[in-house]
Amino acid sequence: MIRFITKRIILMIPVVVIVSILIFSIMYFSPGDPVEVILGGKATDVEIAAKRAEMGLDEPFIVQLGDFLYKFFFKMDLGRSYITQKSVWGEIMVRFPRTLMFAVGCMVLSVVVGVPLGVTAAVHRNTWIDRTCMVFALLGISLPEFWLAMQLVIIFALKLGWLPAYGIGGPQYYVLPVIAGSVHGIAKQARQTRSSMLEVIRSDYVTTARAKGHSETTILYKHALPNALIPVVQVLGNNFAISLGGALILENVFSIPGIGTYLTAGIAARDYPIVRGCVIFLALVFSIIMLLVDLAFAFIDPRIKAQYEKQGAKRKATGREINV
């Protein structure tokens, strides 16, 4: 098992490095000159050249890339913002907890609401309860998140005045963003839970549990659900990643000063260190989550754990990698 974890972490490193190179290159070769943005339209050519040399932007591409990678991987330094001159890594660390809080909130809500919804639908298969649940789930994945967010703001903040419309502060500031951000997650979770519950619910061991006289809740949540959990955890991981991405738009709707607003402001100002810093950071977090999901599978399902261990042994024997 430990060998598997180490192997996964080692495999993650080249992905993160190549993502960094990719993002750096995309930003490097994209149109628009940051120096002109900083100095404004009136600067002379001499001034621009001097500024460019001062910022190290006159170096060849490969030197700049090497410098960037070295600083990021060995010094945890993502450079400084062109405009405010603040450290990007420092700023991300200040803002990340807010984004994380939003994403975790979305994930928790999607599990707490989505899983019971899916179980209920599966139990009452082909009845009106099932149909209602699934129609709502289908509606949920069809609504654009930021449009829903705007409607929530109109109703609960502007008309009723129950909750703040934007900004950050106490927990009440997160209520609307989390609801708007988790609707997709709830819907996906409910659909996935329903279909994987349907597979296990007619198994023999469920009949056995019923014959032993367990209560229906015990049967569902202790015997059936754990066996249906793998796809559910998969969706959970995906949802978490999607809410990190969704933060990009929803943070702008609610003016939450998290990574999403930082990134979009960086794009608008052509402040490249901010843009690539945020994207690389989010990609890193995303890869870590995917790793955790894979590991969670092993803890939930002994069969997968055995498979991982067997895979390690097999690879040792043949010396070849098996693609999954």
Give contact residues for another protein (rule: CB under 8 A).
Answer: 14-16, 18-19, 22-23, 26-27, 29-31, 138-139, 141-147, 150-151, 153-154, 158, 241-242, 244-246, 248-249, 252-253, 263-264, 267-268, 275, 279, 282-283, 286-287, 323
CB of 322 to another protein, least distance (A): 12
SS3 of the chain: CHHHHHHHHHHHHHHHHHHHHHHHHHHHHCCCCHHHHHHCCCCCHHHHHHHHHHHCCCCCHHHHHHHHHHHHHHHCCCCECCCCCCEHHHHHHHHHHHHHHHHHHHHHHHHHHHHHHHHHHHHCCCCHHHHHHHHHHHHHHHCCHHHHHHHHHHHHHHHCCCCCCCCCCCCHHHHHHHHHHHHHHHHHHHHHHHHHHHHHCCCHHHHHHHHCCCCHHHHHHHHHHHHHHHHHHHHHHHHHHHHHHHHHHHHHHCCCCCHHHHHHHHHHCCCHHHHHHHHHHHHHHHHHHHHHHHHHHHHHCHHHHHHHHHHHHHHHHHCCCCCC
Least CB distance to another protein at residue 50 (A): 27
**Closer residue to another protein, CB minimum distance, 27 or 179:** 27
**Residues 183, 184, 189, 190, CA torsion sign:** positive
For the bound state, the minimum distance from the C-beta of residue 163 to another protein, rounded and expressed in Å, comes to 15
CB of 316 to another protein, least distance (A): 19
At its nearest, how many Å lie between another protein and the CB of residue 118? 15
Pick 25 or 208: Cβ nearer another protein: 25
- Do residues 223 and 205 touch, judged by C-beta distance below 8 A? yes
Judged by CB, which is closer to another protein: 50, or 163? 163
CB of 46 to another protein, least distance (A): 29
CA angle (25, 27, 32) in 5-degree steps = 130
Q: Which C-beta is closer to another protein: that of 29 or that of 128?
A: 29
Q: Residue type at 213?
A: G
Tell the smallest beta-carbon distance from residue 215 to another protein (Å): 27
Nearer to another protein, 23 or 107 (CB): 23
Nearer to another protein, 78 or 244 (CB): 244
Q: From the CB of 141, what's the least distance to another protein, in Å?
A: 6
Give residues with Cβ within 8 angstroms of 7, minimum separation 6: 312
Q: Which is nearer to another protein, 28 or 221 (CB)?
A: 28
Nearest residue (CB) to another protein, 22 versus 50 = 22
